[in-house]
Amino acid sequence: MIKIKFLTILITLLLTLSSKAAFEISARTAILQDFLSGEILYEKEPDKSIYPASMTKIMTAIIAFDLIKSGDLNLNDKFLVSENAWRLSSAGYSSMFIMVGDEVSVENLLKGIIIASGNDACIALAEGIAGTEDEFAIMMTSKAKEIGMDNTNFANSSGINHPDNVSTVKDIMIMSNYLIKKFPEEYKYFSEKEFTWDRTGGDPISQGNRNPLLYKSLGADGIKTGYLAVEKYSLASSVYRKGRRLIAVGSGFNTKNDRSRESAKLLTWGLTSFDLIEIAKTSTPIGQVDVWLGKKSTVGVYVKESIYKTIPKARKKNLKVSILYNGPIQAPIKKDAIVGKLKVSYKNELIKEYDLFAIEDVKKLNVFSRLMKSINFLIWGDV
């Protein structure tokens, strides 16, 4: 027979149109995501094409982090600074002020890119990894397609003016999510407020992080600002508070102050208007299902991915989470065998379902015990 066990979680799931309509920010295009649930809390023309400016540098860092993770690159490796890279150390460009012929470590170049937003550091890193910046941009675009950035093309490593260096706030959000998820240790560079580089042949240079949200009591720990005259001001940002992370991306802010104020407003709205609900944790028992003719009468079940839902505050109802299985499940049961489904529904409408796996082996009873159990069932209907 089909058995359903209800978990004691009753919350609202759907993000209502009214909650979104009540909020607005002064960006040309913007998006807000709850990191753990993956749910989009706010969007304003998220697929509109933009010039990502220095937000491009997030992907530049990702390419380096990928190579470090694979062992093909080391933080202590040094790259020779070309004249091409040095030219972007001149006035009018964000730079870490490297000089032709300098040998700069990968770690210092990364800090120069992430903290000081150095365009010169981007070219030095790109040339050191791929030989030329054009080849490096091909690597960037390939990685973008791999992680689902379908509306992005990278033409350079820094984000400076180029008609073919295009993206969307949705794609920048995908990239930011990937960065934080895949490189949690390396991501800490993005929260550093200052970078001091003991440069060759000169006094050390200290520069502050250009992300204005790092200096507010918001819980911000990244990610990257951007500016181009044609695009105006942009910011990919993230806050982490009490185990919950939000990612926001906005572009087309008219001023620096707008960028800071409106991004903080968007993140604060997400934190105060919604709750994150943990439904299940990876590989952690979430319930029990009945077993027939086994040495145990029940077996614990789990899901292979953590499940979170983001819900509006003061609307914690109508969501039902249930275990559905065709049982009791006959022994023997192998550990990690699929034994049922975890169903998440709203107003009796299925939202999503997940496979449930047995947490352990359950062996059969011996012949005599199975016989007695079967007789018991025939007489009393007791399993």
Q: Report CA-CA distances (Å) from 313 to 31, 127, 273, 310.
A: 20, 49, 6, 9
Residue with tokens 């003991």: 198
- Residue whose pair of structure tokens reads 């559905």 in the numeric block: 324
Joined tokens for residue 147: 């992680």
Contact 174, 148 (CB under 8 A): yes
Which of 214, 274, 219 minimizes the C-alpha distance to 243? 219
Residue 267, in any domain of the structure? no
Domain membership of residue 344 (yes or no) is: yes
- 164 occurs within a structural domain: yes
pLDDT at 365: 80
Q: What is the pLDDT of residue 198?
A: 87
- Is 54 tagged catalytic? yes
User: 311 preceded by cis ω (within 30°)?
Assistant: no
Sign, CA torsion 116/119/122/124 = negative
What tens digit of pLDDT does each residue of 293-332 get? 889 999 999 999 999 999 888 766 777 899 999 979 999 9
Residues 96 and 151 both lie in one domain: yes
In 3-state terms, the chain is what percent helix, strand and coil (to 5)?
30, 35, 35
pLDDT of residue 16: 39
Query: Would the pLDDT of 17 be above 50?
Result: no
- What is the pLDDT, as a whole number, of residue 96? 92
Query: Phi/psi of residue 298, each to 5°?
Result: -140, 165
Mean pLDDT score across all residues of the chain:
89
Q: Of the candidates 205, 235, 253, which is a domain's last residue?
A: 253
Most confident of 227-241, 305-319, 369-383: 227-241
Range of the domain at 327: 2-12+280-380
Mean pLDDT of 173-200: 95
Residues 206, 288, single domain; the answer is no
Query: Could you tell me the pLDDT band of residue 345, with boundaries at 50, 70 and 90?
Result: confident
Q: Where are the alpha helices (DSSP H) in the chain?
A: 17-21, 57-70, 83-86, 106-114, 119-130, 133-146, 169-182, 256-273, 367-380
Q: pTM for this structure? A: 0.88
Same domain, 104 and 220: yes
Regarding whether 372 and 223 lie in a shared domain, the answer is no
pLDDT of residue 7: 44
378 falls in which pLDDT band (50, 70, 90)?
low
Query: Using 50, 70 and 90 to split pLDDT, how confident is the model at 351?
Result: confident
User: Do residues 201 and 311 both lie within one domain?
Assistant: no
Whole-number pLDDT of residue 369: 60
- Out of 37, 44, 57, 251, pick the active-site residue: 57
| Backbone φ, ψ for residue 372 (5° rounding) | -65, -40
Q: What is the pLDDT of residue 241?
A: 94
Above 50 in pLDDT, residue 4? no
Q: How many domains does the chain have?
A: 2
Question: Does residue 172 lie within any of the structural domains?
Answer: yes
Cis peptide before 332 (omega within 30 of 0): yes
> What SS3 class is residue 276?
strand
- For residue 138, pLDDT over 70 is answered with yes
CATH number for the domain that contains residue 214: 3.40.710.10
In a domain, 6, yes or no: yes
- What CATH code is carried by the domain that includes residue 368? 2.60.410.10
Write out the DSSP string of 311-331: EETT---SEEEEEEEESSEES
Segment 93-113 mean pLDDT? 93
Q: Map residue 183 onto helix, strand or coil.
A: coil
Residue 209 has pLDDT above 50, yes or no: yes
Active site residue 374: no
pLDDT at 377: 57
The reply to whether 92 and 201 lie within a common domain is yes
pLDDT exceeds cutoff 80 at 29: yes
Output phi, psi for 204, to 5 deg. Answer: -60, 145
Phi-psi region of 280 (alpha: psi -120 to 50; beta: other; left: phi over 0): beta
Strand partners, 294: 364
From edge to edge, which strands make up the β-sheet containing 329-330? 2-11, 319-326, 338-346, 349-358, 298-302, 287-292, 329-330
C-alpha distances in angstroms, 92 versus 97, 129, 160?
A: 12, 26, 11
Residue 64, CA distances (Å) to 67, 101, 108, 121, 216 in order: 5, 21, 12, 12, 29
Please name which of 176, 175, 159 lies closest in space to residue 51, comparing C-alpha atoms: 159
Domain assignment of residue 20, yes or no: no
Quick one: 46 and 6 in the same domain? no
pLDDT at 199: 80
Percentage, residues of the chain above pLDDT 70: 88
Top-confidence residue, 99 or 93: 99
Please indicate, yes or no, whether residues 318 and 169 belong to a single structural domain of this protein.
no
- Catalytic-labelled residue, pool 82, 89, 95, 117: 117
Give me the pLDDT at residue 350, please: 86
Between vectors from CA 13 to CA 47 and to CA 285, what angle results, nearest 5°? Answer: 110
The answer as to whether 195 is a domain residue is: yes
Residues 175, 151 contacting (CB under 8 angstroms): no
Residue 6 has pLDDT above 50, yes or no: no
Please check whether residue 150 lies inside any domain of the structure. yes
Q: Are residues 212 and 360 in the same domain?
A: no
How does pLDDT run across 60-91, given as a tens digit for each residue?
999 999 999 999 999 999 999 999 999 887 65
Q: Are residues 171 and 312 in the same domain?
A: no
Same domain, 192 and 326: no
At 247-286, the pLDDT tens digits run: 999 999 999 999 999 999 999 999 999 999 899 999 899 9
Spatial contact of 66 and 72, defined as CB atoms under 8 Å apart? no
Residues 319, 195 within the same domain: no
Catalytic residue among 54, 95, 251, 273: 54
